[in-house]
Amino acid sequence: MRRPLSKRKCLHCKTFFDPNPRSAGRQRYCTLPECRKASKTASQLKWRRQPANRDYFKGPPHVQRVRQWRQAHPGYWRRGSSGASHALQDSLEPQSMPNQSLERESKREPLQDSLFMQPAVFVGLIAQLTGFA
């Protein structure tokens, strides 16, 4: 297995960058937005220049396909009204909290007090096993 390159020069901005380890052999552009856009443009141009893809979007079958799609999706390109937006969630109603009795809570011994009652050796053993003091 080849060792991944540590640095590579971006074909668009000409700066050095660390390629992604999963695609180090193929990555030629850095992750800046302008460079990613240039990468996309270059890959589309490379795809369109292949002989099998030159007339991919041309001809009567493609025109008919687009016409059928536009009939099935009327108003797709029209901008919607900016008035009311359709939320994906229902609005949340505030809920009241039930009254809880503080008397019941105050009768119990606080947790800190019960921890200090344990022997120091036992607490040290637990700290060693769990990694928490």
Q: pLDDT over 90 for what percent of the chain? A: 35
Q: Is the pLDDT of residue 85 over 70?
A: no
Q: Which residues pair with 8 in a beta bridge?
A: 17
Summarize pLDDT for 114-125 with one digit per residue, the tens: 656 666 777 788
Average pLDDT over residues 45-60: 89
Q: What residues contact 18, with CB distance under 8 A and at least 6 apart?
A: 6, 7, 8
Residue 133, classed as helix, strand or coil, is coil
Q: Is the pLDDT of residue 4 over 60?
A: no
